[in-house]
């Protein structure tokens, strides 16, 4: 299955960019992910009130921006009710500095929401070799958003070729959206995402049957990625990309379980674990700590502390 798509094994995917090290889905998060050595950067696509495609995870703006402060008279803070010009006025990174002071940077307080076109220009999958996982976030809110995304990819001249791994993969919790994408751009693989932390074998078989109809792979939460579930997907010719895998011990376990790839907030950890740092990402070492070593040190410190307590 991996060879059919020319994927490197395993497939390494940065969740909303390097969202552990920088505010999610912002330019710094995308840049760190791009330099880390991953294969793909996962980003969520929505549409503004005036029809622009933007990259943003939540359908509501309040968690990640200062929308209430910037527009106190607004009665509704759903993204779809804002124009691009209004969104560009919002502070999109200050929340990260408040929530994660140990990872804060002054520059994060001057970030703005990106359009999908801006991301495509910056990442440039054809030339960098780093592709995009584009998740259609709540596509039922945006009629024909699939057609608009495909049209933008064509405008940017991003076409798939049989000799290389896909530049674009589509993800969604919506089988209907994936079905539409299969008709609009069948050459780009699709992945059906699942929400449940735990699932019965019967329900898993049902998900696989749905996935077979609309996608090439399935993206379960990590808790669901048992070897017998992954094996059942493989028997149907489907690849499995668990999410969100942020610990080295999780990587070890899921590699034993034969997962085909991983979606993570910590792409530098993933690339380091698999020795996949790219040559143009030599500055990665300056961008973050050696997470694997730190986790081992923390584990030793915790163990020593526990002995003292006993």
Whole-angstrom distance, CA of residue 223 vs CA of residue 230: 12
- 223 catalytic? Reply is no
Closest of 33, 43, 42, 38 to residue 10, by C-alpha: 38
Closest of 242, 86, 59, 263 to residue 145, by C-alpha: 59
Closest of 108, 51, 128, 45 to residue 82, by C-alpha: 51
Q: Of residues 7, 10, 12, 15, which has the active-site annotation?
A: 15
Whole-angstrom distance, CA of residue 278 vs CA of residue 79: 35
Q: Of residues 1, 49, 52, 57, which has the active-site annotation?
A: 57
Strands (E), 32-90: 40-47, 53-55
Whole-angstrom distance, CA of residue 82 vs CA of residue 168: 27
Whole-angstrom distance, CA of residue 113 vs CA of residue 16: 13
Catalytic residues: 15, 57
């Amino acid at each position: 299955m991996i060879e059919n798509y020319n994927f490197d094994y395993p497939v390494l995917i940065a969740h909303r960019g390097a969202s552990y090290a920088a505010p999610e889905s912002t330019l710094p998060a995308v840049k760190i992910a791009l330099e880390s050595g991953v294969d793909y950067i996962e980003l969520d696509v929505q549409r503004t009130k005036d029809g622009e495609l933007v990259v943003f995870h939540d359908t509501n703006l309040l968690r990640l921006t200062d929308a209430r402060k910037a527009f106190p008279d607004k009665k509704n803070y759903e993204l779809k009710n804002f124009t691009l010009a209004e969104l560009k006025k919002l502070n999109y990174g200050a929340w990260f500095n408040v929530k994660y002071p140990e990872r804060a940077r002054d520059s994060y307080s001057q970030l703005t929401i990106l359009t999908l076109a801006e991301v495509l220009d910056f990442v440039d999958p054809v030339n960098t070799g780093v592709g995009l996982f584009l998740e259609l976030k709540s596509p039922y809110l945006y009629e024909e958003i699939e057609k608009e995304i495909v049209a933008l990819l064509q405008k940017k001249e991003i076409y798939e070729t049989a000799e290389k791994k896909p530049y674009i993969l589509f993800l969604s919790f919506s089988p209907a959206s994936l079905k539409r994408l299969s008709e609009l751009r069948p050459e780009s693989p699709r992945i059906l995402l699942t929400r449940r932390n735990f699932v019965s074998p019967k329900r898993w078989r049902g998900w696989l049957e749905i996935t077979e109809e609309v996608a090439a792979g399935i993206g379960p939460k990590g808790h669901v990625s048992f070897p017998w579930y992954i094996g059942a997907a493989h028997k149907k010719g489907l690849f499995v990309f668990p999410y969100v895998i942020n610990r080295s011990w999780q990587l070890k376990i899921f590699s034993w379980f034969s997962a085909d790839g991983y979606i993570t907030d910590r792409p530098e950890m993933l690339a380091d674990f698999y020795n996949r740092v790219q040559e143009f990402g030599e500055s990665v070492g300056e961008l973050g700590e050696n997470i694997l070593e730190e986790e081992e040190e923390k584990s030793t410190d915790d163990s020593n502390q526990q002995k003292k307590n006993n």
